[in-house]
Structure 1
Amino acid sequence: TYTGTATAAANYTWNFNGGIATPATGAGPHTVSWATAGSKTVSLTVSENGCTSTSATQMVMVEGPLAAPTINCSPTTSSITFTWAAVAGAVDYQASMVSGPASAVGSLDATARTYTVTGLQAGETVEIEVIAVGNGPCGNSSNTFSCAAENCPMVSISIDSIAPLCFATDLADIDLNITRSGGAGGGTETWSGNGIIDAATGLFSPTTAGVGSAVVNVSYREGNCSYTATRTIVINAVPTATFTASSPICITGTSDVLYTGSAGTGATFTWGFDGGTSNTGGSDGQPQMVSWPTPGAKTISLTVSENGCTSTAFTQTVSVEPSMIEPLVNCAFQSDSIVFSWPPDPNSGGYQVNVQDAPAGAMAVPAPPGFFIMSGVNPGESITIEVINTSSNSCAPASTVATCMAEACPPATIAIAEVSPICLDAAATTITLEAVVTGGTATGMVTWTGRGITDAAAGIFDPNQSGPGMHLITVTYADGPCSVSASRMLVVNAPPTANFTVDGPICEDAMTTVNYTGSAASTANYNWDFDGATIIAGNQAGPYTLSWPTGGARSLSLVVTENDCASEPFATTVMVMDSLMAPLISCDSDNTSITFSWNAVAGATTYTVGVTDAPSGITETPDLANRTYNIGNLSPGDEVTIFVRVESDNVCGPVQAFQTCTAQQCEDLFFGRDTYGPFCADAAPQTLVPVITQATPGGI
C-alpha cells in the first residue's frame, strides 16, 4: 500500500521482484503473490510535476509450503517400523493408522521420526498417515504409506542427483534413475511427485513441475517389500532483464534508468551504457541516472544472472540530443543599414530576434535566414539586439546580445579549409586549422572559437579536449569594429569497444554462446578469432554459437573497426573440458559367480554400479576402489546385467555402460565304457573304476 504524498495522477513505477500483482499500476493498494519462496524486495519510484522521488524499498519474506513427508518401512513378521526423513521447517510430527488389523497397536516417537506398529501376523498390511506440523503461513503437510508385515531383505535405494535447472518452455523431459544395493533385483518402480509424467518409468517434465523445488519420490517393491527414496530437483527461474530509460534527453541532462525485471537483490547485473556514465557505477539493479559526453542514439543493454541462470540481453535506445549553440553575431554597415549575421546551428529550431536598443527612425527590413537588417541608421549610431536560438529538441534555447555601430567596413570574406573526420584513438593529436581570408586589411585579426580549440589565435584544435561528436568551429576576422565569420562542423569519431561475453566452461562438442557487448553498430567491421572453433551460427556482431571438438583453454579475441577507427583488442578465455569416456566392462565367471571389472576412466571422481537384471537370491560384493563388482550365489548359465556410471567434478555429465555376463555352464563329461565284467558268481568283491574324460580333478 502506497503511503507517500503523491496524488493518484502521478506516475508510479513499481518493481515487484517477479511477483504477480493486481492491479500492478497506480498507487494501489496491490495484491502480490510469488511463485517461489525467499526474500523479495519491492521497490517504487514516483514522478509528478517533473520531479522524481528516490526509490523506496520494502522486503517481503515469502515462505514455501512444507514438503510432504517421505515414508519408508522396515517390517518383520509381527511388526512394522515406519520412518520418515526430516521435513525442512517442520516443528513436530503426528502419525496415526489409517487402516490395519484390529490387533494392531501403534506407537509414535516424533523425535526419532518413527511410528511402530505391533501385534501383526505375517502378510497383514497397515496404512498410516504422517503429518508434518508447521508454524508458518503455509500450514501442515501430510502423506500416507502402506506396508505389509514380513521379513524383508536390507535394500538401499537412492534417486540419482539432477543438477539445478534453468526453467524454459522447451526444456526436455528427463529419465530419472535409481541406484540400488541389496535385494534380488527385478522389482517394480513407482514414481510420484511434482513433474512426474510417467509413474512407471520415472519420466520427469521440468515444464510441468515449473519453477521451484520439485520433490519426486520413488517406491521400489520386491514382492511385498517396499523401499522408498526422495529427491528434490531445483528449477530456477531465468531472470528477466527489462528496464525503462527516459528518452530523449539533452546532452547536459541524464536518463533515468529503472530496472523492472524479476531478479532479486543478490543477482549479478551486467550493464552496458554505450560510453555513458552511471551515477551508481552500473553494478546492480538500483535506479540509475546515466549521462553521455556526446549526442546521438545510445543503446543501453542489460544481462542478469541469478542462481546460475542468465537472462537474454535486453536493450533500450536513448536519444541524446545536442544543446543549442549560442549565436556568434557579426555585423557590418552597408549604406544606411546595419547587417547582423550569425552562422547556422544545424540543430536549431529557428532564430528569434529582439531589438533592445535602436535610434529613432531605424526599422527592420526583410532579410534572408541567418541575417537581421536594420535600416535608417546614421554613422555613429548603434543598435543592440538579442538573438535567441530556439530549441528543436529537449535542450534549452541559447541566446546572445550584440551591439553594432554604423561604420563603413572594407569588404572581406573568410572560410575554413576542409577537415577530414578524426579518429579519437591513442594516436589522436592536435590539428592546426586553416582560415582563408579574402579582402580586408593587413591589420585584421583572426580568432577561433568552439569546443576543442586550445589556441584561439593559431587555430589549434585538440580532439582529446573536444571529445567525440560533431563540433561547430567558428573563425572570425575582425578589423576594428568590422568583422566577418565562417563556421565548419568537425567530426570526431570515438573508437568502438570490442567487449564480449562467452558462456563457460563447457564440455567438448557442447555449444557455447558469444554475445557482443561493445559500443559499435551492427554495420561495423568485426574481426573475430575463435581459436579453431566450429561456428554453428552467427556472423558480424553475432551472437555466435560455437563448439570445439577437443578440450583445452580456448582464447577468443575481437577487434572492431567503425568510421575508420579500430578498437583496442578484447580477449578472454573459455575452458573446454574433456568428455568422459564410457568404461569398458569385462567379466570373469565360474559356475556360481561373476566378477565384473572396468578400466580407470580419465577425469572420473566416482563410480556407481547398479544391477539391472539378475536372478533372485544373488549376493553383491562391490570393490569400487579397485573397480570390481562380484555377483555370487548364481546357478550355471545364469545371466546378470549391470551398469557402471562414471561421474566427474566438471560440466561434462556422467556416462555409463552396460554389460551382460553369464555364469559358466557345467562341463560335458564322457565315461569311457558302458559295462563292467563279466565276473564269476563266486569271485571276490570287485572295485569298479570309471574312466571319465574331460573331467576336472577332484570331482566326486
Structure 2
Amino acid sequence: MKYIKSLFVALLLSFSFSFILPITIGNQSASAQCNTNTSICTPGTAGPFTFVTPGPYVSSCLDFFGPNMGYIILHITTSGPLNMLINGNASTGFLDVAVFNIPNGQAPCTAIQNLSNEIGCNYASAASGCNQFGNSFPCSSSVPAPYVTAGQEIMIVVENWSGSSSSFTMQLGAGGAQTGSPNPAITPAGPFCISSGSTQLIAADMGGTWSGPGVSSSGMFNPATAGLGTHTINYSVGVAPCNATSSTTITVNSATVTPPAAQTICSGGSATLTASGAGTYTWSPSTGLSATTGATVTASPASTTTYTVTGNTAGCTSSGTVTVTVAPLTIGVSPNASICSGASTTLTATGATNYTWSPATGLSSTTGASVTANPTTTTTYTVTGTTGSCSATANVTVTVTPLNLTVSPNTSICSGASATLTASGATSYSWSPSTGLSASTGASVTASPTTTTTYTVTGTTGSCSATGTVTVTVTPLGLTVSPNTSICNGGSTTLTAGGATNYSWSPSTGLSSTTGASVTANPSTTTTYTVSGTSGSCTSSLPVTVTVTPVVVSVSPNTSICSGTSTTINASGAANYSWSPSTGLSSATGATVTANPTVTTTYTVTGSTGTCANTATMTVTVNPVPTVNATNNGPLCEGSTLQLQATSLPGASYSWSGPNGFSANTQNASTPATLNAAGTYTVNTSLNGCTSSATTNVVVNSGQIPVIAAAGPFCETAPNSILSASIAGGTWSGNGIINATTGEFSPLQAGAGVHSISYSVTGGCAIPGTATITVNPIPVVQISSPNTSGCVPFTASLVDASSPVSGSITWDFGDGTANSNQLNNVNHTFNSAGCYDVTVTSTSAVGCSTTTTFPSFICALPNAIAEFSVNDPIHGLMNPEFHTFNTSANASIYSWDFGDGDVSNAFNPSHIYSENAGNYVITLIANNAGNCPDTAQVTVTIQEELVYYVPNTFTPDGDEFNNVFSPVFTSGFDPYNYTLTIYNRWGETLFESNDTKFGWDGTYNGELCKSGIYTWTIRFKSSQSDKKITKTGHVQLLK
C-alpha cells in the first residue's frame, strides 16, 4: 500500500501542481500557517480538530506537502510509550502523522523545521482514515510508539494526504504516556552567600524557561551575578494554552569581618581584641583567650600567637587574623650554693636593668645585680628584675650545712663476733685504723677485731669536717663437750659440756633434755648433736656424735604345711637365738628348729649379739587334708551314660581313673555305659597342696537304647518334618513335637533355637534316646536411605539393615530394570519420574530367607521443563517492549532475567528495554515444589530504526543554500550498499551515486537541467538484515 501511495504522490507532483502552490522557499506564504493554539491539556479523547492550510512544511522523514494539515501540542505529564490514535471523520483516506520534540525555549513552529527533533513518524500504510503509534487501538496503519518523558513538550503534525476527512480526533491509550497541564511550582532556594557557587533551581515540572537577576534560562542561579539583596525569579513552563508560570524570591547575603590591629604585650600581660563587620564572631585558637565568641575578647598568650576571628551574618562567613606578640623577659641568677655554718657566698643576677632581692635576712643588700648572702639556716632568695614595664623573677637557694658529728657508743663483742659502727651528721666519713673493719669509708662499717680496739671516724660536709671515737671490747669464750660414743640399738649414753654458763642441745631427738651441762642420749639411729654454750652475750658451739649399732635378725619366710606334717625354720644375723611359743617346735633355741604345729602359728625369734638384741617373726599355716566322697548313677543299662560325681570342694582339683584306662580331670565325669565299664573308679582330690582319694563301684546291666536319626537344621518357615529312630513303636516328646506317635516336628511351633527331642520305647532296661534339632530364624528385612526422593535422574543409595545380616540378597527396584544382588549397600538410578516399591529378598548365612516390599519407598521427582517464546525476537528502538509467552511444564515458580539487570517472577512478563540497540538474552528458570529447576533462554535484538529523509525541492542557483539534492539517512542503513539514481520524465538516467555524501547538483553532462519534476530512486540495505529496500519519489528542481 505504501508503494501505491508513493506512486500516487509522484503522479500528483507530475500532474497537479496546484496542490503544492503557493510555496516559496525561504519565505512563508501569506496563506500558510502553523497553528500553535491547539493544545491538549487534559487526558482522554480530544477534538474534533479541523485541518488548516499548511505552512511552513515540516522537515520530516515523510513527504509532507499535502493539501491541509493539523497541529497539536502536548505537554507530557506521565512518561511512557506514546500510544496514540489519530482518527479522521472519514473511514477512508490516508492520514500521515509526525511527532516532534520541542526543545526548551524553542518555538514549536521552528522546532518542526529541524529533522533532528522528529521522534516518530507514520507514513500511513492503509487508507483507513486513521493512524496510530503503538498497538492500543484497532487501526491497521500502525508503527511502534516513541517513548516520551514527563515534562517533555511535543508537537504532533497530521497531514490530510488524501483529503478524505475534514476533521480528526486524538486519543492517548491507557498505560502509556499521558498529557496534562504543567506544574510550575518552584522549590524554595536560598538564602545564599555572595561567595556561593551556582545552584540549579528546581521546579515541579522542569523543562521551562527561567528569568530574573543572576539566573540562566535553564535555571542556574549565580549569587555573585545577582548581587546582594532579595531578587524575584520567574519560571514559565509549557506552551500556551497548556502553560503556567510562577515566581519566587531569593536573598543573597554577605559578611565582611574587620579584625583588630596587631598588639605587643609583656610576658604575663594581656591585650583587648575587638572585631567588627559581622553579626556573630568566633575566635581560635582558644589558647590564652578569655572567651572564644563575641566581638571583644581578652588575649593573654604565653608566647606570640596569631588569632583567627570568623564573622557570620545570616550564614555567610569571612575571616581575618590578628597577631599578639609577647616580649619575654628572662632573668638569670647564680646557681644554688652550699656553705658551712657561719660562711657566706655571692649571689649574682642578669637579664634586666634593675634588681630587688627578698627576703633581706642574711643579705648585704636588697638591691643590685650582685649581693652577699650569709644566712644562718638554708634560705631561698627571690630576685625580681625589671626592664621598663616588664618584670620577671628567679630563685636561688643557699644551703647552710651545720656539722654535728655523732658516732655509735662503745660496745663489747665476743671473740670472733662483729659489731656495726655508725656515724651521722656529715656527708662523707673515713675510719681508722682499718684493722678488723669491713671498710674504711662510709656512714656504717662492720668491726670484727680480735682484740679490744678504739676506732676514729672523720666526718666531712663540703669543706666542713669533725672527728669522733668508739671502742670495741673483745670478750673470749672456751667451750668443751664429751667425745663421740657408740651405743646398741635401744641403748643410751650421757653427754657432758663445760666452759660456759648456760647450754642448749639440738636436735632434741632421743635426748632426755635440750638444756643443761649433762643430758642423756637414746637415739634410734646414729645422730650428731650440737651443744651451744653461752656466757653473757657470748656464744660458742661444738658437735658430738652418738653411733647406734643395730642387730638385724632374719627368719625363714612364711610357709604352709598339711595337717600332720612339719617344716624347718632358719634364723640368721645374730650370735644367739631363742624361739617362742615353743608349741610344735623341736627346740626353743638355736638357729634352726623343726615346726609341726596342729594349727596355724606365728613364731617369734629373738637374736642377740653381746648386749644388743632384735626380733623377727614368721607364720606356719596348717591346711587341712580334703575329705572327698565318690558316687555314680548306677546300676546302669548297657548303652546309657555313666555319670561319676565327687564331693564339691571350692578351689580343689580332681583326677579320675577306672576300668579300660578311663581317666578324667573334672569334678564330675561321664562315659558310655558298656559292659566293660563296670568296676571300681577312684578320684584323687588336691586342695591347698593337700591330697586325698575316694572310690565308687559301677554296675552295668545289658539292654538297648534307640538312636534318633539326625534331622535339621530347619528354618522357622520350613514345612513340618517326620522324625525317625532305630527302634519303632516308641513315643516322641520335646519342643516342636506335634504328634507323639508319628514324630511330626513343626519348626514354626518350636521357634528359633536348639531343641532337645526324646524318644522312649518299652522294656525293663530300655533307655530313651535323645537328640537335638536346630531351628534357625528367618531374616527381618529392614532397609534405609539417606535420601528417598530427588530429581530425575535420581540415584538413591539403599542400605540393607536386615537382622540377621544377609548372607545373600536380591534387590527389586520396581522400575522394570534388572535386579541387583549387591550386599550391604547398593546405588540405583531412577530415570523416570514416579514413586517406586522396593522389594528385598534377604537370605541368612544358614539359608533362611524372606521377602519384604516397601511401598513407594523411592520417589523420583519430575524436572521442570522451561520453555517460552517472545512475540517477536527483533524490535526497533522505537518499540523496545517484548512480551513473553510461557509454555513451561511441571513448574510453578518462575524467575526471569532480561539480561539488562531487570528481573521478574511473573508468569508471562513484558519488558521494555532502554534505548540501546543490541542483543539481550532473556533467561527463564522454571522450578517446582521438588526443587527440580530447568533453564531456557531466548536472544532478542533491538535494532536501530531506519530513519531517513528525502527532500522534495532543491535550488541549485549558486547562492550556497540548497544547491544539492541528496537523501538524508540518520540511522538503520548500510552505507556500503546504497545507490541514488535520478531520471528525467522520459526515464533517462541523469545521475547516479553510491555515496550518501555525494548528491545531485542538478546538472547533466556538465550543464544545469531545467526547472521541473525529476524522479529519484534509492536502493539500500538495512543495517540489521540483508533485506534490500527500494524507494522511488520526485524532487522539484527550481532555478
Question: Does the pair score TM above 0.5?
Answer: no
TM range (shorter): 0.3 to 0.5
Which has the larger Rg?
2
Taking structure 2 as the reference length, the TM-score comes to 0.23
